[in-house]
Amino acid sequence: MKRTTARLADGREIIYFDSADDAVRDLDDPRDLPETATASEIRYDPLLDEWVAIASHRQTRTHLPPAAECPLCPSTTERQTEIPSPDYDVVVFENRFPSFAGNVADVPGTVDPGEDLFPRRPGIGRCEVVCFTSDHETTFSQLTPERVRLIVEAWTDRTSELTTLANVEQVFCFENKGEEIGVTLHHPHGQIYAYPFVTPRTRRMLDVAHRHRERTGRNLFADVLAAERAARTRIVAETVHWTAFVPAASRWPIEVHLYPHRHVPDLPALTDDERDDFARLYLDVLRRMDGLYGMPMPYIAAWQQAPVRIDRDLAYLHLQLFSIRRAPGKLKYLAGSESGMGSFINDVIPEEAARRLRDAG
């Protein structure tokens, strides 16, 4: 793999990841761009013990442009995009409309003067865009295992780099696919968030894992994986190093978790063989999802990695993959119970979802 770094016209970093060691990329960005202005802060919710990001500048971000105006396609002599080179394999760059950034302005320590119930802090962190391919018309499920393997290397590289930043507490690699999910760009891409706090989902999982270890002496995630592999009724596919299964209490109509068989905290801890194996299994699962209803499946793919500084021994790397499509022409909306009370109601029996995904292979 060849890794090449450069700067865009407004100073943002861009990194090319190429399979060929002799790949040459055009690094000069001739655009006349103003310096990015990021008004991001985080405010504390005392009722839920959570931090909420406020990023009003994102209201003006690019929204579903036509293919001819896609900012993630390679640049041409007629049109300059976010990627100066006329071609690329995988490329990562700092988001122009980030939820968190390194150059945000300071803010007062509280939302209301004299009231310490609502603390606030600058939204210091980093948000990056990961372009999986220069081909605007393809999808992740149509990529080759070799390309997915290169994407894994990019995720790994960025996780390692971002965890060294002083204010970053957790690194989250993810992909949103499909307008139904809420994507604003059709080009095959994902994102990486480097949060200035440990996210609520991770905190809750690790709290539960801590109690499980105190009670049993074992790792909760490893026990879940072992139980799913023993039951076998919800397994979708498996390889030497990974198992993909529908969780016994899945929240979404289609939800698959991919676990490595070895307990590791994050992507950088995976071996080369485990990374190779993941690429094959992940493509298999994505293609099963696309085959379920004979149409591309909208989904969110979310890497669950250990926080940077706490509970790394408790955490267990895994990928959560889920879709809001519950049937052809029908979507799962987060309505009253889910949005109002945080209590999920799933219309699809997990064992039936697993069987249908196995049959779709």
The tokens of 213 are what? 């270890």
The residue ranges of DSSP E strands in the chain, in sequence order, are 2-7, 13-18, 40-45, 50-55, 90-94, 120-122, 126-131, 170-177, 189-195, 235-238, 242-245, 254-260, 299-304, 318-323, 325-327, 330-331
Looking at residue 283, its amino acid is L
How far apart CA 126 and CA 203 sit, in angstroms, is: 20
* Residues with Cβ within 8 Å of residue 110, at least 6 apart in sequence: 116, 118, 119, 120
DSSP for 20-73 reads: STT-----------PPP---EEEEEETTTTEEEEEEGGGGGS--S--GGG-TTS
* Torsion over CA: 264, 229, 210, 214 (sign): negative
Backbone angles phi, psi at 222, to 5 degrees: -65, -40
Q: Is 189 a catalytic residue?
A: yes
State the catalytic residue, choosing from 187, 189, 241, 257.
189
* Cα-trace Rg, the chain: 21
Distances (CA, A) of 27 to 68, 75, 190: 22, 11, 22
What positions carry a catalytic annotation?
Answer: 189
